[in-house]
Structure 1
Amino acid sequence: MRSTWAFALALLLQLIPVDATAQSASSNLSRLLEAELSRLPTRSGIYVKHLGTGEEASVRANDEFESASTIKVATMVLAYRLADERKLDLNQRYVIKQADYRGGSGIFRFNDPGLNPTLRDVITQMIITSDNTATDIMIAKVGGKDAVNRFLRDAGYQVLRQNNTTLEFFRLGYEAADPKYKALKPEDIFALNTDLPLFVEPRRALIEEFQKRTADKEVAQRMSAAWSAKANWFGWATPREMGRLLESIELGTAASRQSCDEMKRILLAQQSGVIKLPHYLTVPIAHKTGETGTVTNDVGMIYAHSGTIVIAFYNVELAGPRAETEDGMGRVARTVVDYFDGGKPQ
């Protein structure tokens, strides 16, 4: 009995320093990240987790941030879960109509109506070019934003939320310019964001009226205020919850293993945000960017030499050049990789 207790005590004593060391390491990295974030002209939050060691570090990881387009990851996950359940066929083709066109980011808006991509193609563009046309098509295909939010609540996420479709988000700003713009059709709203003759020519009067109205500084400020108001954010996120969603993709628990592998392949093909998290990295990163006027975010999985690192980096209330913050995001990502890889060449 005495030898058994001695063995148990020795084992306990061995465990205590390990836990303390892990906590100390996490605290050291968090302090390092806090110092880096303090240099940025933003209100920033970050969550980092090394999936091999389990070590975490964070700064304001539980604060709520404007997700911008990073919330599109949730729609992708739900689409693949539905595909696993055979409730959605990602090989199905969708004909893109004039009413589907959305302004902002993406490539579908530069093409004539009638494109006939598969839903898998639509998801891919929603992620790698942050295509807003693709986004609203996919939100509708998975059952609407309420379905996205039910999935997130059922999965235990308290903050992650698709607050608006891209059409709703754009409309809020125009409605702030003039309440009558609430009645604008999707084609009308897109016409205010494009120079495609197909949309512009029939709406010359609307466009000229809108340009005159927004030439008024007060009107322009109302629009900006509407788009930046928390209640009107495109989506809500915390760095920690987004990190958890990314981790579930990496570990193959968000959907089937095959679906998770496909989602990672899409994230690895990212075409946006090369000066954000990937800026100074030479190791692969699967990621999704997001930005609005005063927001710039990037979230993903860095495939470092020491193992996969989940990172979710949010920046709002930009008070300086966007490039300064995005360059800083790259420096932080390099610092994180160097920390875990022990300074090994990337």
Structure 2
Amino acid sequence: MDQNARTLPSLHLICLLLALTIAPVRAESPDGEEAPQWTTQLTTRLAQIDANYPGELGVYVKDLSSGEVVGLRDMEPWYLASTVKVAVAITLLEEVDAGRTSLNERIVLEPLDYVDGAGETNWQEPGTAVTLQYLFDQMLIHSDNTATDVLLRYLGTDTVNAMVRRVVGLGVGRITTLADVRRYAYSEFHPDAMHLAPKGLFAIRASGYGEDRVAALVQVLGVPRAEFNAPDLDAAFDRYYATGLNSAPLDQYSELWEAVARGDLLSPASATLLLSTLERIETGDDRIKAGLPSSVSFAHKTGTQHRRACNIGLATTPGQAPDEGVIIAACTRGSLNLSEAEAAFRALGEAVAESGVFAPES
């Protein structure tokens, strides 16, 4: 056998061990107690998952019953994508709890409300009156962007951001409308993109991806490509992400889930409604949930954007109260292949389940 061929497995092993050694995984226990076995096991598995993912992975896992935490780059800012919709939902339910509105209240759809994306609200004609309950369900279950922006118009983005600052602090970047996500990103090509109307946004989305989308932006804006300030989508979105909009450290943003689970933020009825709705979302079957046992309930929200993906939720076992559950939050950046991010999320779900964190205390 060739001597060089015999050294390859050893080199691979050395690289893997090096990756496991330098991966920035942390495990914490309250009051500086010795880390329990589940955190030690999960720390090792996270380093392996991180080494296998071609981009960067951020993870925050917290056992609410003990306060024990495992984190991987969780204190760095991560683009949250559609997980910001949970903040919108919480703000709406606070208004309901305060008696200032009801989920039965109706709101009329306006021509400028429409945003490309999933969900049924785009099927409704302008002038249609829909209930807040309908918008709440569409926003969370189907990740409906138009429903979200209608709710943001109704509540006010300032109100949503004030709630986040009150609960989480100042580490979360400003949450914007979903239409403005597109405007801010495309304005990195040309400032005129800040004035894009729904018709233009839909045309750009329908054009496809990559260079086809940039060409569509040229046509919609009526601006020569030579006047664009970014060479491609990667550069434009990188500049947009650098603004910090719709971004937060995972350990901080997860405090919203913890506040709901502990009953510190919403009435029992509203907290139950929110968590039960998040258990029924239709966008995350291939992410963390895919790695969890079928007996574990996962109240979660997903988010996806250019080279970014997230999944954040609260996992509980049968008979477990929300404040005894486990928060699992993860985001990725770098890879254009969404299936690679989903594989990492699925592996995370498996690793959390196999760590023993769900095992009852003896």
Give the TM-score, by structure 1 length: 0.80
Q: Is the 8 A contact 2:114 2:122 kept in 1?
A: yes
What are the superposed Cα offsets for residues 185-234 of structure 1, whole Å, 9 maximum, x if unpaired? 34443444359xxxxxxxxxx98923997989x77744443333234455
CA separation in 2, counterparts of 1:214 and 1:272? 37
Pick aligned residue for 1:185 from 176, 197, 211: 197
Please say if 1:172 is aligned against 2:172.
no
Deviation at 1:143, TM superposition (A): 2.1
Tell me the residue number matched to 1:314: 331
What are the superposed Cα offsets for residues 255-274 of structure 1, whole Å, 9 maximum, x if unpaired? 11111111111111111021
CA separation in 1, counterparts of 2:71 and 2:272? 27
Q: Is the 8 A contact 1:304 1:337 kept in 2?
A: no
Tell me the residue number matched to 1:333: 349
Structure 1 127/233 Cα, relative in aligned 2: closer, same or farther at 3 Å?
Answer: farther
Pick aligned residue for 1:160 from 163, 169, 172: 172
CA separation in 1, counterparts of 2:38 and 2:288? 22
Unaligned runs of 5+ in 2: 1-30, 208-215
What are the superposed Cα offsets for residues 52-105 of structure 1, whole Å, 9 maximum, x if unpaired? 333221111111111111111111111111111122322111222322100133
Q: Is the 8 A contact 1:242 1:312 kept in 2?
A: no
Which shifted more, 103-112 or 35-44?
Answer: 103-112
Which shifted more, 221-230 or 55-64?
Answer: 221-230
Structure 1 segment 277-292 matched on structure 2, within 5 A: 277-281=288-292, 282=294, 283-292=296-305
Amino acid at match of 1:91: N
Amino acid at match of 2:306: G
Q: Is the 8 A contact 1:227 1:233 kept in 2?
A: no
CA separation in 2, counterparts of 1:98 and 1:57? 46
Unaligned runs of 5+ in 1: 1-17, 196-205
Structure 1 segment 244-255 matched on structure 2, within 5 A: 244-255=255-266
Structure 1 segment 32-47 matched on structure 2, within 5 A: 32-47=45-60
CA separation in 2, counterparts of 1:342 and 1:79? 32
Which shifted more, 79-88 or 52-61?
Answer: 52-61
Amino acid at match of 1:261: T
Tell me the residue number matched to 1:240: 251
Q: Is the 8 A contact 1:66 1:295 kept in 2?
A: yes
Q: Is the 8 A contact 2:112 2:198 kept in 1?
A: yes
Partner SS state of residue 299, structure 1: strand
CA separation in 2, counterparts of 1:48 and 1:161? 21
CA separation in 2, counterparts of 1:325 and 1:223? 19
Tell me the residue number matched to 1:12: none
Amino acid at match of 2:276: R
Tell me the residue number matched to 1:256: 267
Partner SS state of residue 164, structure 1: coil
Q: Is the 8 A contact 1:279 1:327 kept in 2?
A: no
CA separation in 1, counterparts of 2:265 and 2:127? 33
Which shifted more, 222-231 or 159-168?
Answer: 222-231
Percent of counterpart pairs with the same letter? 25
Structure 1 segment 3-14 matched on structure 2, within 5 A: none
Pick aligned residue for 1:226 from 211, 231, 236: 236
Partner SS state of residue 126, structure 2: coil
Please say if 1:148 is aligned against 2:160.
yes
Amino acid at match of 2:122: R
Q: Is the 8 A contact 1:160 1:238 kept in 2?
A: yes
